[in-house]
Structure 1
Amino acid sequence: MGRLTGKVALVTGSNGGIGFATARLFAEEGAHVYVNGRRREQVEVAVRRIGPNATPLPGDVSRAEDLRRMFEHIKRERKALDIVVANAAISRGAALGGIDERTYQEVFDVNVKGVIFTVQGALPLMADGGSVLLMGSVITGKGIPGETLYAASKATIRSLARTWAAELAPRRIRVNVVTPGAIHTEGMEAALGGSEATAQRLDAMAQAIPVGRVGEPEDLARALLFMASSDAAYVNGTELYVDGGRTQV
């Protein structure tokens, strides 16, 4: 306990799933965490579940005005940020030949533009020696039909981390990517239909994963905690796969 004592963290998309598990663990480890999401009610529920070390910060990371307001709020309350976890992302399935401009814009506005301007907006507040964590996806190493937009947007994240690690080196701000595999979240439940077939599909996934199970949000949260903490002080510009070995074995 206490690995982030005295730190201030922003976790985008933290009203549920991996983001919520991360915000809760960071708070348990002593950080004051700003919980972000587009839906105010869900953000406030998440903050109540986390407790006094959390503050609601609703907003859409794809909107410049929302980001400006969010960072002004943090500046007024806490003056500085130590950790940014750019977790907010969306997926919209569309196969080549059926991709329209609106869907393209929606995915890239959140997954790429949102990440770029979240990190850029945070920089004036970030303490030297801070940590920026970006969320990747194992899908970038696979050819999965219907995932052109999501896979391309997540492939961009790896490139951003390399460039930013070099650019922010003079300030000792570390930039890394944490890449989840199959993680059992509310979103996965919804995608699988939330029926008896869901359990069967989860079992089938587990059989293909060397550790023998589908991951939980807490698995990602613990990896993000390590990367955010001083334990990972010599880890920079890299990508950590948290997938039970699925892509590595």
Structure 2
Amino acid sequence: MGKLEGKVAVVTGGNSGIGLATAKRFVEEGAHVVITGRREKELKEAAAFIGRNVTTVTGDVTRLEDLDRLYAVVKEKHGHIDVLFANAGWGEVVPLEAATEAHFDKTFDLNVKGLFFTAQKALSLFKDGGSIILNSSVANVLGVPTFTVYAASKAAVRSFARGWTMELKDRNIRVNTVSPGPIETPALENAGLTPEQAKRAADQFVSQVPLGRRGKPEEIAAAVVFLASDESSYITGVDLAVDGGMAQV
């Protein structure tokens, strides 16, 4: 028996990186998983990688009609949700003096608005006693130059977990955040850095990590499985840092 045997889990941004590693681990632990992402080709490749017990729904979490379509598929196929990993997010390196309204809006639309409505629209399908895990970042407690809009958006995610813990306590739905440190994903390249700049940034991050390396997506997935499972049944409202000690010392 896996830790999530027979559970129904939804993972946003499940087509790559942390989301994909977590969706695969959920299935290995016995769950049926619905993953969503904006790129259909990557979603199909992700489903092939996961191999079984996975449904894909192409969509953008910043579009409320796409979220409605996601949950319509979940309702039709499974009827309920036990676990939500609200993982979809984005960041871009922009100094304060160069930040534009478009940069601000794009970051908050995905990391804050999209995550908010991802959780809100899931509630009608959620079983009492379920688990919601929000993907934040160690940036929510660190001062990270040129990454301040991203950091603020992730601090909002942390705040959601606190408030929703209290709002959903009567349904025994636990809400927690996981806060990764530097992880081996394409995130730095996607943040607008060249390969050379991304390597320098990664090396700089590693110099701040007591364990002396970047983490792997599978290491975040293991933490999310813990928060999704009954092994964390007395844990709610926490921010679990999986950061090699980066923000802890």
Cα deviation for residue 246 of structure 1 reads 1.4
Cα deviation for residue 106 of structure 1 reads 1.1
1: CA distance, partners of 2:188 / 2:231: 31
Compute the RMSD of aligned alpha carbons: 1.8
> 1:136–1:155: 8 Å Cα contact kept in structure 2?
yes
Cα deviation for residue 145 of structure 1 reads 2.2
- Tell me the SS of whatever aligns to 1:2: coil
Partner of 1:37: 37
Q: Which runs of 5+ in 1 are unaligned?
A: none
* 1:84-112: CA deviation from partner (whole Å, max 9, x where unpaired): 00000111232223222222211111110
Identity %: 47
Partner of 2:15: 15
Partner of 2:117: 117
2: CA distance, partners of 1:120 / 1:106: 20
* 1:215-248: CA deviation from partner (whole Å, max 9, x where unpaired): 0001100000001000000000110000011111
> 2:182–2:202: 8 Å Cα contact kept in structure 1?
no
Partner of 2:74: 74
Partner of 2:164: 164
Residue range with higher mean Cα deviation, 188-197 or 229-238: 188-197
Matched, 1:236 2:243: no
2: CA distance, partners of 1:197 / 1:104: 21
Cα deviation for residue 54 of structure 1 reads 0.9
2: CA distance, partners of 1:40 / 1:146: 31
> 1:83–1:132: 8 Å Cα contact kept in structure 2?
yes
Query: Could you say if the C-alpha distance between residues 226 and 197 of structure 1 is closer, same or farther in structure 2, counting changes exceeding 3 Å?
Result: closer
1: CA distance, partners of 2:104 / 2:242: 27
Partner of 1:182: 182
- Tell me the SS of whatever aligns to 1:123: helix
Query: Could you say if the C-alpha distance between residues 151 and 190 of structure 1 is closer, same or farther in structure 2, counting changes exceeding 3 Å?
Result: closer
- Tell me the SS of whatever aligns to 1:165: helix
Cα deviation for residue 195 of structure 1 reads 5.5
Partner of 1:217: 217
Partner of 1:56: 56
* 1:166-193: CA deviation from partner (whole Å, max 9, x where unpaired): 0000000000000000101122356664
User: How high is the TM-score relative to the length of structure 2?
Assistant: 0.94
Cα deviation for residue 60 of structure 1 reads 0.2
Partner of 1:86: 86
Partner of 1:133: 133
- Tell me the SS of whatever aligns to 1:127: strand
2: CA distance, partners of 1:190 / 1:63: 21
Q: Which runs of 5+ in 2 are unaligned?
A: none
> 2:142–2:247: 8 Å Cα contact kept in structure 1?
no
- Return the letter of the residue paired with 1:145: P
> 2:36–2:43: 8 Å Cα contact kept in structure 1?
yes
1: CA distance, partners of 2:93 / 2:206: 23
Number of paired residues? 248
Cα deviation for residue 202 of structure 1 reads 4.5
Query: Could you say if the C-alpha distance between residues 96 and 208 of structure 1 is closer, same or farther in structure 2, counting changes exceeding 3 Å?
Result: closer
> 1:93–1:149: 8 Å Cα contact kept in structure 2?
no
Structure 1 consecutive aligned stretches of length 4 or more whose deviation exceeds 4 Å: 189-192, 200-204
> 1:34–1:54: 8 Å Cα contact kept in structure 2?
yes
* 1:113-151: CA deviation from partner (whole Å, max 9, x where unpaired): 101100000000000000000011111222222212111
2: CA distance, partners of 1:210 / 1:92: 25
- Return the letter of the residue paired with 1:22: T
Cα deviation for residue 197 of structure 1 reads 8.1
Query: Could you say if the C-alpha distance between residues 65 and 97 of structure 1 is closer, same or farther in structure 2, counting changes exceeding 3 Å?
Result: same
- Tell me the SS of whatever aligns to 1:36: strand
2: CA distance, partners of 1:93 / 1:160: 24
Cα deviation for residue 4 of structure 1 reads 0.5
